[in-house]
Amino acid sequence: MSSFHPWVMWFFAVLFFGYQFIMRVFLGLCVPEIMQKFQIDATDFGLMASLYYYGYAGMQIPIAILLDRFGPRRVISLSCFICAASIFLFYWTDQWALALVARFLIGAASAAGFLGASKVISLWFPYRLYARMIGLSFSLGLLGAVYGGMPVSHLISLYGWENVLLIIGATGLILTVLLAITIKPYQMSFLHQEPSFFKNFKSLLTVPSILLMAGANLLMVGPLEGFADVWGVPYLMQLYSFEKGKAALITSAIFTGMLLGGPLLAYLAEKFRASYQITALCGLIMAFLFAVMLLAQGTLSYTALYLMMFTVGVLCCYQVLVFSIGTSIVPEGVRGITVAFLNCINMLGGSFFHTIIGVTMDIFWTGISVGGQRVYEARAYDYALWTIPIAACIGGALFLFLRPKSLKVKEKTHP
């Protein structure tokens, strides 16, 4: 194998990572259209949006095991195919239950995006490049979310959301073939897995500090997984009367900010040795910015909103510090499990916020319908989205009191 081939494999693995971001944010670009197609209310839509995160979170550990058993070529290629096939299922079906299944499968298969890219890096790149390659992968993958905003919104305005959905599905099939061709077969084995994996995981769940950290992390993901992923575009269209493209560009600013936030927050935490305090400040400042936006009642300018959301994006990278804190306070053999667990709970935050926001919008629905479809006024969005700053404030406050000096997480090993 040439020295260039690992870069080719990594490139296409990262393409899939970015591709799954497009599918993740697509739902937020066509909220009224999807609600109209399936004749659903905001609570039902919130359920649909949340199923992506249930699938993604639930498959974190299984995908990690499958990557060790079958290698990245099979797992990433199959995952990409499942994503594409599920998109076609979502396009063709008029049945609500099948649409929910499709959304769940997209989330479950998307779990192989970041994990697959990291596995390719660990197998075919020197260890000294691992951290650098992971950071580069994360930044390039986020471009999928950035370009999944305004550019995809523009395509929807030109060709209709269902035709764009077909294009995304067809792209997934092409990417599946490219992944199968470019990624070198690598036969793994369960022997590579520590036999104590599940026992170590069980012991991790008995540590209150890790559980508290995971809960605080979940409460702080609202700006990203609740607002940027789904509800931000319809909110900005309703409250600020922006056209869909401009609204999508504002929400995409969160992902653009995250391109800068990861290395910046990591540098600040290392320089000042204040990971807990910086993480807490991220939550509290995000809560403040969202409170300002909601209290403004549609009076902020486009530029002000864009800069605010860009700042929120930088702060959203507190998750990098959470993973760093988690792995620094457990034994080396438990670090991989710790990251998988924290990421799992982090992604469940999307389900939490979409469900709460959808239910709250229906509570404050004024009874207006057009063509049998519920129409939600500004007040419904306003009340529903207050969930985000309130939760972020609580999550940030929890990190101020979180000071685990030492964790007695013992590694369970077989004699």
Q: What are 119-170's pLDDT values in tens digits?
A: 888 888 887 777 678 778 877 888 888 877 778 888 998 999 999 999 999 9
Residue partners of 376: CB distance under 8 A and separation at least 6: 42, 238, 361, 365
**382-390 mean pLDDT:** 96
Of 70-74, 288-292, 321-325, the one with minimum mean pLDDT is: 321-325
pLDDT band at 96 (very low <50, low <70, confident <90, very high): very high
Rg (the chain; Cα; Å):
21
**223-231 mean pLDDT:** 93
% of the chain beyond a pLDDT of 90: 55
Q: What are 321-348's pLDDT values in tens digits?
A: 888 788 777 776 676 677 778 888 999 9
More confident residue, 341 or 287: 287
Helix axes 232-239, 31-38, angle to 10 degrees: 100
pLDDT of residue 370: 80
**377-397 mean pLDDT:** 94
pLDDT band at 295 (very low <50, low <70, confident <90, very high): very high
Q: What are 17-58's pLDDT values in tens digits?
A: 999 989 988 988 898 899 999 999 999 999 999 999 999 999
| pTM, two decimal places | 0.83
More confident residue, 328 or 113: 113
pLDDT band at 415 (very low <50, low <70, confident <90, very high): very low
Q: Are 143 and 48 in contact (CB under 8 A)?
A: no
Q: What structural domains and CATH numbers belong to the chain?
A: 1-193 (1.20.1250.20), 195-415 (1.20.1250.20)
More confident residue, 93 or 270: 93
pLDDT of residue 413: 46
